[in-house]
Structures are given as C-alpha cells and as structure tokens.
Amino acid sequence: MPDYPLVVDNLSFRYRTRPDLAIRDVSVRLKPGELLLVAGSSGCGKTTLARCINGLIPRSYKGERSGSVTIHGREISDLSLVEISQVIGTLLQDPERQIVATNVVAEIAFGPENLGLPRKEILARVDQAIARLNIEHLRSRDTFTLSGGEKQKVALAGLLAMRPSILLLDEPLASLDPASAYEALGVFRSLADEGATIILIEHRVEDALQAQPDRMLYMTDGETRYLGAVKKLPPEINYREVKLPASWVVQCVRQSRETSKVLRPSASLGTEGQLLVAFEDVSFAYGEGPLVLRDINLQIRRGDLIAVLGPNGAGKSTLVKHAIGLLKPTRGRVLLEGKDTRETTVAHNARSVGYVFQSPTHMLFAPTVREELAFGPGNLGYPPEETQRNVEESIAAVNLSGLENYPPLGLSFGQQKRTTIAAVLAMRSKIMIMDEPTAGQDYANYTRFMETLCSVAAEGGASLLTRNFAATLFITHDLDLAVMYANRVILLGEGRIVADGSPEEVLQDFGLLTRYRIRPTSLLRLNCDLYPQTKRFMPAEALAAYVTA
C-alpha cells in the first residue's frame, strides 16, 4: 500500500451551535506531490474540512465528529497542535488573523523560532522564503503598514519558512492582485513538484487552474459531488456556484440553451450627476513614511458604479478611507457633500458613506447576525419599524436567510463578509464603499448581491442601489467584477490615478493592465473579441448568444 501523507475517511462533523451537519461522509487520499483543488459555494463545508485536517476541530471548534483524519498514519485527534503544525502548514483566508509580529522579518521567523531552530537556520529560512515569493521590498516594513495583499504574502512566507510537508491553503488568492496570485500559484505548483502535498481551497477555479491541480474535490451542502481530474469541465460542477473559465460557462449555457438578461449598467452619468465626493490635490503619508497617495484629483458623482483596481500596495484602501474621513490628507482636501472631512466626524460621515472593511473581523461584534445589522440603523436614529425592514431586505440581498440568529464570528469567512455588507446596506447611506466585496464569496453569492445592488429589477422597479444609494465604489482584484458591474474604472498605481474611464476604455488596454500587475481574464478577452458585435461588456452567460459553435 502506498504511503499517503493525508487520508480523510468518511468524515462528518456538526458544529455544536448548529443543527445540521457541516460536512457528511467526505473521503479523500492524497499522495506526496499531489495538489488537490477544493471548490464549492460558500458554506458548503470547505473550511470545516480544513479545520478537521489541521486539528482546529475538535480543539478550537466543538461539535460531533465521526470518521477519521490521519497524517502519515496517525489520527489527527491523537496529536498535539505542536506536532500537527510541524507537518501541516495552514494559510488562513483572512491574513489579519494570522499576522502576530510587528515587522516582516519577525513575522516570517515566528514559526521557525517556535520550533527551536538555531538562529542561523532561522535567518536562512527567512531569506529563502522572501526570495521565493519575491518580497524583498517588504523585508524592512512594519506589518501594520502593509496592505491586505502584502500581509497575505508575508503570512505565506511565514508558512513556507516552517517547511511543512502538507500545505493547507484556504482562499490564498483572495487579497492578492492578479499578477501576485499567478506567481503564488506557480509557487504552489513548484512546491508540489518538489514533493509537498497541497490542499488549495479556492472559489476562483479559473485562477486556481493555473496551478495545474492534479485533482479537484467539488463540494455541495457538505458532501462530495465530484472528485477527479479537471483537464476539462466536469459535468457535476455548477457554473453558477464557482468562477469558471468563460469558455466553460459559454459551453454550459449553450448546452442548456439558457439565456441571460444580466447586463452591466449603462455608462456613468459622469459630469451630469450630482457631485458627492471630491478629492482636491490629495497626498497622504502614514506618519513620517513615504507618500502613499500622490496628487489625487477625483470626483464621485451620483450614478457612478466605480471599480478601483491596482496592484497590492498601490494605495487603494488608503484612498477610500479618505472618502469617509477615517484618514485625513497630508496635503490637499477631501470634500464629502461639500464639507471638508477635516471638519466632520466619522460618525457624521457615516450618514453619507457606508464602508465595508476588507477584513470582516474589523467590523463584527454583536451576538447575532440580526443584532449586527440592526446596530447601525439604530445608531443613526431610524425608527424600529424601518430598521426591521432594512435588516430584512439586507439579509435577503446577500443570502443570509436562516443565519439571522447565528453569531457572526462563528460563520464562515464568506458569510462573515456578507454580514458586513448587509450591515452597511441596512444603514442606507448615500454612498456605498466596499473593500474586496467578493473575498471569500462563491460566484453565486457575489453575483447575487452585486446584481441586487447594481442592476435595475427585471420588472422595471428600482434596485437597492438605485432606490437607496447614489453611488457605489468597490476595490477589487477580481477583474471580472469590473467587467460585469462597473460603469467606471479607476486604475491606481504607485499612489496615483493612472486611468479613469469606462470599462471598455480602460480594460481593453492590455499593456496598461499588465504594467500594473493586472492579468486579463478569459471573460475580459472574450468580451474584447466580441466587442465589435456587442458594443458593451457582458457576463459570460450573456456572451453565449454571440459565440458561434
């Protein structure tokens, strides 16, 4: 019998706080050097499976478990977390929950130090991890100054410095710019080729395929729907649940003869819409550090649906935090509905701007989802009946029905993210700002709430956005989000706005995108190919009508 580093056999688990099984009868055996892609919709059991594999279940998460998980022939429940961590290295979805040290070198060295390795060996491992991920430019940085994507790279470097034989990667691409994600996938493939066993949990199947996974485990409702090779489209996979290559989606739609009415909103109102936010010659630096924003001049008007793109560390989050007054310009000024943000409070600004943080743990605190969503409207003085109505509409918009009485911090990362979006929806601010809204989201959930926010209802009624929000701005590394939903794209690079226009104007310049670490996706390429016919960008489902056999 071959030696399997990891064996999951008929594994089932139910959380103590939930009535139903989170996973049911999952079995898989992994060989040395195998890369397994685990995919499925949010809440399908992927993260629960990961927690069973790395020992957090039953230690940190309590409940009923049956079946077994063995690493190199030893049952995981019989091993200590110290023993497990020397074999299995875990990269979490949210890097904020994994960074513990104050500077980058100390963070990468943290794991090897805890193994009791000699100082010379520790420093050698730090250097090797930094070189492998090409993050020499981050070596001297304090971790609190890093962007979300930079923190993800540093967390991955810390994992590599431990040199585990099994790597468990839970949504490792969520915070990375497209070029960094591609580079990380290359590292994962090379590690597998060198003999490591890799479990890659990822919603972005199209991107994950770049790592040439040996097999895919596709899960639905806690159960295995498909386990096998992924060189072609497995028929068991629902293209509405995970993000697939555009050609696969077109194939599915043409085979089912479905039609799609989903269209990106028409062009921005531009200078015709009411001016909501104005950046006037804004520059900003954290403390005595270098400028993060340089000479930003920007206007956000009623009707804008803006996607903010750019590489990790370009200043995207810093930019949007100025709009709500969380940060004040070092030079220049920001006007929110005509008022200088230096002269207003964040609490006052919240009536005009709702902000969804990149990390949901920065926002969540209430005992239940319902209480979380009711907190903001209550603070803003909404009547109880209106607060209740707002909460119910927001729950429906982001697909949280059935989870109203669950503790937010007990939900999956994707569900937590949707809870933070719903909390801001319930506040009904004029301007909606979301930092990486699709992080941790399966394709079904993110298209559902983006369509609810950004599209006019089929029957001609107003959507949540057109009824309650004057403008929406979202930071994203998901280029397809800009293709499908934005009517304006802002590309940020080195702290400056390097492009600002419609998706069709900005995103067809592949040279510009590549210069700022954005890799054109299959959906963008297909849209560009068909643009002479369509005259606008569309989702893959809609493009199927224009693709000839």
DSSP string, 96-125: GGT--SSBHHHHHHHHHHHTT--HHHHHHH
Q: Cβ–Cβ contacts within 10 Å for residue 124, how many? A: 14
Reported as a single tens digit per residue, the pLDDT across 477-501 is 899 999 999 999 999 999 999 999 9
What's the full length of the chain, in residues?
Answer: 549
The DSSP letter of residue 435 is E
* Contact between residue 218 and residue 224 where contact means Cβ atoms under 8 Å apart: yes
User: Under 8 Å CB-to-CB from 317, ≥6 apart: which residues?
Assistant: 147, 148, 358, 435, 475
Q: How confident is the model at residue 291 (pLDDT cuts 50, 70, 90)?
A: very high
With a cut of 70, say whether residue 365 has pLDDT above it: yes
What is the reported pTM?
A: 0.83
Q: Which domain holds residue 170?
A: 6-256
Rounded CA separation 365/456 (Å) = 33
Percentage of the chain exceeding pLDDT 70: 94
Residue at 442 is within a domain: no
Reported as a single tens digit per residue, the pLDDT across 83-125 is 998 899 999 877 777 888 999 999 999 999 988 899 999 999 9
- The label of the residue with tokens 């803006």 reads 306
Angle, in degrees to the nearest 10, between helices 148-162 and 104-114 = 30
Query: Per the structure, how many domains does the chain have?
Result: 1
What Cα–Cα distance (Å) separates residue 253 from each residue in 7, 122, 432, 445? Answer: 37, 52, 32, 19
| DSSP 3-state of 523 | helix
Mean pLDDT lowest among 256-265, 296-305, 336-345, 501-510: 256-265
Q: How confident is the model at residue 71 (pLDDT cuts 50, 70, 90)?
A: very high
Residue at 161 is within a domain: yes
Please report the pLDDT score of residue 313 as a whole number: 86
The encoded tokens of residue 12 equal 């089932």
More confident residue, 241 or 198: 198
Please report the pLDDT score of residue 461 as a whole number: 47
Q: Where are the alpha helices (DSSP H) in 11-101?
A: 46-53, 56-59, 81-85
Residue at 294 is within a domain: no
* Contact between residue 170 and residue 92 where contact means Cβ atoms under 8 Å apart: yes
Omega prior to 58 cis, within 30 of 0: yes
Residue at 430 is within a domain: no
The DSSP letter of residue 151 is H
* Contact between residue 157 and residue 110 where contact means Cβ atoms under 8 Å apart: no
Residue at 206 is within a domain: yes
| DSSP 3-state of 70 | strand
- SS3 string, 329-396, reads CCEEEEEECCEEHHHCCHHHHCCCEEEECCCHHHCCCCCCHHHHHHHHHHHCCCCHHHHHHHHHHHHH
Residue at 215 is within a domain: yes
Residue at 540 is within a domain: no
Q: For strand 488-493 and strand 305-309, is the pairing parallel, antiparallel, or unpaired?
A: parallel
- Sheet of 431-435: strand order equals 353-356, 431-435, 471-475, 305-309, 488-493, 496-501
Please report the pLDDT score of residue 284 as a whole number: 97
Reported as a single tens digit per residue, the pLDDT across 123-171 is 999 999 999 999 999 999 999 888 888 998 999 999 999 999 999 998 8
Please report the pLDDT score of residue 270 as a whole number: 47
The encoded tokens of residue 45 equal 């059991």
Q: Where are the alpha helices (DSSP H) in 21-77?
A: 46-53, 56-59
Residue at 313 is within a domain: no
Reported as a single tens digit per residue, the pLDDT across 372-381 is 999 999 988 8
* Contact between residue 545 and residue 206 where contact means Cβ atoms under 8 Å apart: no
Residue 194 sits in a domain whose CATH number is 3.40.50.300
| Mean of per-residue pLDDT scores for the chain | 89
Please report the pLDDT score of residue 460 as a whole number: 44
